[in-house]
Structure 1
Amino acid sequence: MTDSQNIRLERIGAVTSDIGAEISAYDAANQLLFVVSGSTEVQVFDLSDPANPQPFAAAPVIDLTDLGAPIGGINSVAFKNGLLALALEAEIQTDPGAVAIVDINTIVNGTPIADAAKAFQAGALPDMVTFSPDGKMVLTANEGEPDDGINPEGSITIVDLSGGLADVTAANVTTANFQAFNGRESELRAAGVRIFPDIPAAIDFEPEYIAVAPNGQQAFVALQENNSVAVLNLATKTVENIVPLGLKDFSQPGNGIDASDRDGAINIVNQPVFGFYMPDGIAAYEVHGSTYYITANEGDDRGDADEAGTGDAIRIKDLGDVVSFGRNGLALDSKFDPSITEDENLGRLTISSVDGDTDGDGNIDQLISYSSRSFSIWDAHGNQVFDSGDQIAQITAAQAPELFNANNGDPEDFDTRSDNKGAEPEAVTIGEIAGRPYAFIGLERAGGGVLVYDVSQPTAPEFVQYARNDEDIAPEGLTFISAEDSPNGKPLLTVANEVSNTIAVYEIDVPQQPDATDTGSGSSRDPGVKQEEPTNPMGDGNGDSAAMSIYGRDYAETLMGSSGNEMIFGNGGMDELIGKAGDDKIYGGSQADRIMAGAGNDVIYANGGMDYINSGSGLDQIWLGGASDAIVVLETGDGYDKIMNYQAGSTRFKFANPGNLTYTDSAAGLQISQGNDLLAVVAHRTTGDFGTPSFV
């Protein structure tokens, strides 16, 4: 296990909003958090005590109606250099919106909003706002969604602040549109850009989110429904390229999908289905001088195809009901087995009815669903260097199985989003901690929460933690606060949750790494020493019970727990990790480790190398993750093991006596029994795909 995996998020505080919580921004100088949710008010929270956020006494709310201009709501907020930028939707959605820029210090000192802010016209439906890294530009993504028969152009508004807010006029505002791409629709479609029939590109393109490159030269603009990214030249303030993102192939190894909400189980398997990436959130960062951007691939459609109009979405089994765009039903190509239209197979999966006819005969040849159910990393030229495959599904299935693909964090809705877009990765932000970049990815569905990855190697990100809490449902906005800007000197992550209306504050624990002269004692996070840890770093994220943590060094050693509930973190070297009694969580390192969990209900996370794993007695969970050729010891007695990420031909089993073994399918997975004793349940496997087990 690398040092990066030792960072841990702990939910230390939260506040519930009376009017909603979607997007947030942080002012380090005043220790204030600004939150918007589509109303005409900005909520202001005092974050000076991150464990107890409170409404800011001097100005708990900033009411934008006091600007004097009619607005429909505030869709987004950003903060930089003492200025608060706000994306304002018009009262009529298809009319031009506005971007407001507020001098926050004057607001804090009691100045009315009308005297502290300036507002400038933007394009239709400004849905997101951000600053350039140097704070000299404000950019809004104007989505231009159609409504009531009107379909405005999408665009990006750019406000030049280089002369200071006081001197900004309408002459400093530029709106970059997509009119240069009109007439090139056939060319763009051939390249893979998704454009609806008979609609000009400038109208069809709908900017969703903006990430400005760290060098300030380019901005990457997610065109979600178009499955593309626009590249904006910030020197010329023009869109210079449209980059298609391609399709995810769910039939490939590592790209499994649970595509049915009627199969009654977690069933992550390969299917003859493709997926549009269709990112919502996008964030840019730099590694060794090269720019990359990360996309949270949520997916989105434009309405139902079984109604008149321009809708595209339809269940596979209902293709015959398609009437949008003047059509009279569609059919699958004859190459597909008719059984895929059954509910427990692919029948209920929502796909696009305007894509997938590859030979022009009017039938659907490719089943293309919305969302790749992943996050991806792309270089500055639009080449994909990484995709998380089915990791999001596997992680949420392992750590919050009762909420797998649930709607709005309700166990009664288990599996109900499998036929749509799965966990729906919605938001992404990047923060640097101890010199390493980390990506935080918010999940709108399933158990909600935030996935944490070390992205210092863009081609091989490393999973760190899944942090979630039952009180927080549907994260929409993530704000990273560096240790330098934090009120308590520790990195923080705030999570604005759209459904629960909660704003959660996570503190990020960064263990001190030993130097060559470290004796293994004395610091607050010394490897090899037990320390109180009041959170569950990779489990349910609730932080309900205290535990002890033991951190390994970067060489082979033995780390031993006791009778309590411990978290043991291996590091480098071939470690021996011993949990003894208690409900332990043991994290293997990057090399071949020997893991002995002992009694209790333990969770074991193997990371890499040829690990030897004996979970002992109790109801244990073994997540094999990146471990190759792992050996799992199965014993008769109390309890059984639940094994995640079993790899046929790689994972091996060891028994005291391998005789009298039986293999049985169940809703929870493949059951391995010896006589009447259940030894293990191998999740997401059946007798059909388990393969021939290997023994040692």
Structure 2
Amino acid sequence: MLRIPTLCALLTLTPLASALELKPLALYQSGYPEGTEIVSVQVSSMRVIVSNSAQGQVDILQLDPAKGLNRIARHSLVAEGMGEITSAIFHPSDDLFAVCIRNSDGLKNGRVEFRAAADGKLLNTVEIGIWPDSLAFSPKGDFVVVANEGEGYVRDGEGFRSDEGSISLIDLRAGVAAAKHSLITLPDLAGVEGATQAEHKRLVERMIDGEELKIPFGTSPEHIEPEYVTFSPDGTRAYVSLQENNAIAVVDVLQGKLDKVFGLGTVRHAADILDDGQYAPTAELFALREPDALAVSADGRYLISADEGDTDPKIAKTKAGLPSGGGRTVSVFDAVSGQLLGDTGSQLDDMAAQAGVYPDARSPNKGSEPEGVVSFDAFGKRLAVATLERADALALIDLDQPAQLKVVQVVGAGEGAGSGKLAPEGLAHVEHNGRHFLVTGLEKSGNVALFELLK
């Protein structure tokens, strides 16, 4: 059984008192044992789209503060062997949604399908880059940006070959039927300060011919793997996480080109790195951030990253003096310059332990593992909420002082939190009549959880 510190020790871990808290409201059960990964909410209709890649389906839910989450439609989109849904998102205002689908051949282009929300009717298909992993509508719905991860590998003689990661920009200003696609290529990241470099000696785990292998990871475009997309509030910039590369690509949307790439550097903070049945943050973690999801603050000033980590070797096998993978943090950067302003240090794992959900078995490998993140203003505060995939929990974070971030609360995402059987991943925030709701897909349970932020 996992042991946590004594009451006196816990008191030293608790941030300054706050009246804000996340409260569980409802649970939607898909009927499937797993797969409910990505969620998106349309503010105007309070509808939620949920992807289920294993079934090739999306569910449309109605979010009713009084009744919870109720399914109003289920659309089967992808037949077995015809690809995989990797992300789904509602248009900000129109009665349609978009899904990105990767090809069953990992070295061939994927596609974005635009479909009517009411009946799932296909409105248009746009061919994009290879292995798309995430997409986002601009705030007005006039552009879509897709992160094409290019993650697939094949054998090439005695080595392995992957195709280039890229970013797709789809212009919808003339309507969905007249969608125009352009592919944004990415440069070699050698020499980009703060990004993963060859001397870091990182590896990536990839399935090749049914076998999980570890592949040396470099800086060339074939080793660049865009992961997640978010927009600035004014829609002029899109931020794309290059997770394994420990960097962010910034797209000038109106110009249709890459603006810049900036590296994210490393973290140093106390951490538990031993799987020994207790939470004891007595070691120093030195690691690349390697974020998955990103968010932008409501005023557009700050870029927030969920520093999950996605490369090997694990801490025990990382050579002395080299960083491991995964910051176990939420970090805040200046959205224009890319300058680091602050991060949560050890607080996510500290508070997960205090809540009784810290996954000690993951101590040697990325801890609670922050995955999704959203940012919004509520009750006079600038806030973020992050999903902690391995802790089966959500973290509420006060961003008012970016240089001194405070994790206000960690709360389990449902019954069995801390067991590793929920795995909250996708996360969405919606404000309705002055109330703030958070929706998260629990990938390993097949459910979707609804929370409310209360004061």
TM-score by length of 1: 0.55
Tell me, which stretches of 5 or more residues in structure 2 are unaligned?
1-13, 156-160, 199-215
Partner residue of 2:307?
Answer: 297
What pairs up with 1:49-88 in 2 under 5 angstroms? 51-56=67-72, 60-65=73-78, 71-79=82-90, 80-82=92-94, 83-88=96-101
Aligned equivalent of 1:158, options 153, 169, 174: 169
Question: How far is the alpha carbon of 1:226 from its aligned partner?
Answer: 0.6
1:257 partner amino acid: A
Residue by residue, what CA displacement relative to the aligned partner does 1:89-134 show, whole Å, maximum 9, x if unpaired? 1121221001112232xxx2x5x613xx211011111111111122
Tell me, which stretches of 5 or more residues in structure 1 are unaligned?
250-254, 302-312, 316-348, 353-363, 407-414, 511-696
1:54–1:195 distance in 2 versus 1, CA, 3 Å = same
Distance 1:165 1:99 in 2: 11
Distance 2:170 2:349 in 1: 40
Aligned equivalent of 2:454, options 509, 517, 523: 509
What pairs up with 1:631-646 in 2 under 5 angstroms? none
Aligned equivalent of 1:399, options 341, 352, 355: 355
SS of corresponding position for 1:482: strand
Partner residue of 2:106?
Answer: 93
Aligned equivalent of 1:376, options 303, 309, 331: 331
Which one has more relative contact order, counting CA pairs under 8 Å at least 6 apart? 2
1:3–1:216 distance in 2 versus 1, CA, 3 Å = farther
What pairs up with 1:118-517 in 2 under 5 angstroms? 118-149=124-155, 150-168=161-179, 172-178=180-186, 181-182=187-188, 186-188=190-192, 191-196=193-198, 201-249=220-268, 255-262=269-276, 264-271=277-284, 273-287=285-299, 291-301=301-311, 313-314=312-313, 349-352=315-318, 364-380=319-335, 381-400=337-356, 403-404=357-358, 406=359, 415-446=360-391, 448-468=392-412, 469-471=414-416, 473-484=422-433, 490-510=435-455
Question: How far is the alpha carbon of 1:416 from its aligned partner?
Answer: 0.8
Question: How far is the alpha carbon of 1:7 from its aligned partner?
Answer: 2.6
Question: How far is the alpha carbon of 1:471 from its aligned partner?
Answer: 4.4
CA RMSD of aligned residues (A): 2.5
What pairs up with 1:631-670 in 2 under 5 angstroms? none
1:64–1:374 distance in 2 versus 1, CA, 3 Å = same
- The answer to whether the 8 Å contact 2:423/2:442 transfers is yes
2:275 partner amino acid: D
1:478–1:385 distance in 2 versus 1, CA, 3 Å = same
1:247–1:423 distance in 2 versus 1, CA, 3 Å = same
Residue by residue, what CA displacement relative to the aligned partner does 1:217-276 show, whole Å, maximum 9, x if unpaired? 222211111111112121222223221111112xxxxx21111114x42210243x5101
1:506–1:282 distance in 2 versus 1, CA, 3 Å = same
- The answer to whether the 8 Å contact 1:431/1:482 transfers is no
Question: How far is the alpha carbon of 1:365 from its aligned partner?
Answer: 4.3
Question: How far is the alpha carbon of 1:432 from its aligned partner?
Answer: 2.6
Residue by residue, what CA displacement relative to the aligned partner does 1:127-171 show, whole Å, maximum 9, x if unpaired? 111111222111111100032334111111111111222333xxx
SS of corresponding position for 1:225: helix
Size of the alignment, in residue pairs? Answer: 409
1:450 partner amino acid: L
- The answer to whether the 8 Å contact 1:195/1:204 transfers is no
- The answer to whether the 8 Å contact 1:12/1:50 transfers is no
Question: How far is the alpha carbon of 1:44 from its aligned partner?
Answer: 1.6
1:3–1:386 distance in 2 versus 1, CA, 3 Å = closer
Q: Which moved more, 1:135-144 or 1:38-47?
A: 38-47
1:438–1:70 distance in 2 versus 1, CA, 3 Å = same
Distance 1:441 1:295 in 2: 9
1:157 partner amino acid: S
Residue by residue, what CA displacement relative to the aligned partner does 1:428-452 show, whole Å, maximum 9, x if unpaired? 0112323533200100113x21111
- The answer to whether the 8 Å contact 1:14/1:51 transfers is no
SS of corresponding position for 1:100: strand
- The answer to whether the 8 Å contact 1:98/1:120 transfers is yes
SS of corresponding position for 1:81: coil
SS of corresponding position for 1:395: helix
- Report the identity percentage: 28
Q: Which moved more, 1:197-206 or 1:430-439?
A: 197-206
1:61–1:4 distance in 2 versus 1, CA, 3 Å = farther
Which structure shows the bigger proportion of residues in strand conformation? Answer: 2
1:54–1:259 distance in 2 versus 1, CA, 3 Å = same
Name the larger-Rg structure.
Answer: 1
1:198–1:258 distance in 2 versus 1, CA, 3 Å = closer
Distance 1:99 1:281 in 2: 20
Question: How far is the alpha carbon of 1:278 from its aligned partner?
Answer: 0.3
1:101 partner amino acid: F
- The answer to whether the 8 Å contact 2:226/2:242 transfers is yes
- The answer to whether the 8 Å contact 2:313/2:324 transfers is no
Question: How far is the alpha carbon of 1:86 from its aligned partner?
Answer: 1.0
Distance 2:66 2:131 in 1: 33
Partner residue of 1:615?
Answer: none
Distance 1:119 1:153 in 2: 22
Question: How far is the alpha carbon of 1:460 from its aligned partner?
Answer: 3.1
- The answer to whether the 8 Å contact 1:480/1:494 transfers is yes
Distance 2:65 2:143 in 1: 31
